[in-house]
Amino acid sequence: MRIKYTIPIVFIVALVIIEKENNIISRVSDKLTLKQTPQTPLQPSGFSHILLKRNGSFSSLSKMDSAFTLMKRRLENYSQHQEVVTRGRKHILLLATTRTGSSFVGEFFNQQGDNMFYLFEPLWHVEKMLTLETGGTNATAAAKAYREVLQQLLLCDFTLLENFIDPVPVDHITTSLFRRESSSSLCEESVCSPVIKGVFERYRCRTRRCGPLNLTMASESCLQKGHRAIKSVRVRQLENLRPLTEDPRLDVKFIQLVRDPRAVLASRMVAFAAKYKNWKQWAMDGDVPIDDDEVRKLKGNCDNIRMSAEIGLRQPTWLRKRYMLVRYEDIARFPMKKATEMYRFTGIPFTPQVKSWILKNTQASKETSGVYSTQKNSSEQVEKWRFSLPFKIAQVVQKVCGPTLKLFGYKFVSSEEMLTDKSISLIEEKVFNLL
């Protein structure tokens, strides 16, 4: 009989303590979220210790356990809530394929300033590891790994990524992060550990000399930033990232960057000469075996890009206000205008730093000067591929990527003359997003 009475009392006492702890947690929550790092996640273990101390009786332990679990859940709920509501924090994913100008567009975010944490191609490590281990054939497994790593990284957690870095970081220290210097966030003062003399020369940052990358420091810095952005050329299907939109800790904005597949192929034949040697041979022969694996691969890439865009443009509920399609050709011709639109879409301030970077790196200063703007000049740059890609090859791309060209507003060419006629633009003016 005694136990029957004491247990409810103990339970109430425990709950009162939980309420009290919750209040304390609320008050210090700002500090807690700021200090939280992936390596030392917010753990309420300290509070269970307090609970036990307040009532040393072991007969109440199971009740304590359930009360403790409840408290833990509330704590988790609270910190998730905190992440979204009090910050207005945006999580940007710039999704593209190779040779679409994604490094350039990534700079729009890399240059934003001190309040942005930007990562350049972190999935490079994941792809490399999966290719080594499985031959890179299991698209399902790859998609899952990509998604989970992106999700963690957007939350400033490098733990999962670390498993894919070769060699695996020791104490979260690595000299092997792919293109560290392309993320100004990883070269900031606060993420710059002292140089070790004579070693790691190639891991130096552009702006200052730094030693090996301490991912704990990177994570701490990331948690302090208002916004986070990641650029990747490795996500095949937008739909695979749907769970990210359902994570209450994230406010994800997808920007899909596309480019004329004929121009992409022309550019890849130059940039990845060895990999594209078949295409070069076919270009010389003037004959393409249409059922070749390479051609099938091209079709697969085009289909993936198109299907992602179709989902995005359809604006299903899960993507509402989260998707924007941008053509490389529009950015090349109107960089300032497009950057402004992208920033408006993300809801992040378009800072003077970004503007001046764009001015310095493009001819955007003349963009608004009317009839004599650089548009014509830039169009010529953008359509340079038309003079390097043989008509035969262009025809093959049109054949296997037809629906993709159509969707994005790239005009078909019907003859060699049309392909190389400068007076005919192959870019239809097209508005994809009502902003």
H or E segment and range at residue 362: none
Cis upstream peptide for 167 (omega within 30°): yes
The most distant pair of C-alpha atoms in the chain lies apart, rounded to whole Å, by 98
- 168 DSSP assignment: P
36 binds ligand NAG (CB under 6 A): no
- 254 DSSP assignment: E
16 binds ligand NAG (CB under 6 A): no
23 binds ligand NAG (CB under 6 A): no
Residue 217 or 233 with smaller CB distance to ligand NAG: 217
Query: Segment 112-131, which members bind ligand NAG (CB under 6 A)?
Result: none
Residue 142 or 302 with smaller CB distance to ligand NAG: 142
Residue 130 or 154 with smaller CB distance to ligand NAG: 130
Please check whether residue 432 is in contact with residue 313, taking contact to mean a CB–CB distance below 8 angstroms. yes
55 binds ligand NAG (CB under 6 A): yes
CA distance 238 to 393: 28
For the CB of residue 385, give the shortest distance to ligand NAG in the complex, in Å: 16
For the CB of residue 339, give the shortest distance to ligand NAG in the complex, in Å: 20
- 58 DSSP assignment: G
For the CB of residue 75, give the shortest distance to ligand NAG in the complex, in Å: 9
Angle between helices 293-314 and 391-400 in degrees, nearest 10? 50
Residue 60 or 301 with smaller CB distance to ligand NAG: 60
377 binds ligand NAG (CB under 6 A): yes
Cis upstream peptide for 243 (omega within 30°): no
Tell me which of 29, 36, 60, 245 binds ligand NAG, using CB under 6 A. Answer: 60
CA distance 379 to 333: 6
Residue 13 or 15 with smaller CB distance to ligand NAG: 13
Tell me which of 116, 119, 192, 217 binds ligand NAG, using CB under 6 A. Answer: 217
Tell me, residue by residue from 378 to 407, as one string, x for binding to ligand NAG by CB under 6 A and - for no binding. --x---------------------------
CA distance 351 to 177: 28
221 binds ligand NAG (CB under 6 A): no
- 330 DSSP assignment: H
Q: Give the position of tokens 């004491």.
A: 6
Is residue 234 left, alpha or beta, with left meaning phi > 0 and alpha meaning psi from -120 to 50? Answer: alpha
Binding residues vs ligand NAG (CB under 6 A):
6, 10, 13, 55, 57, 59-60, 70, 73-74, 77, 138, 140-141, 171, 173, 193, 214, 216-217, 363, 377, 380
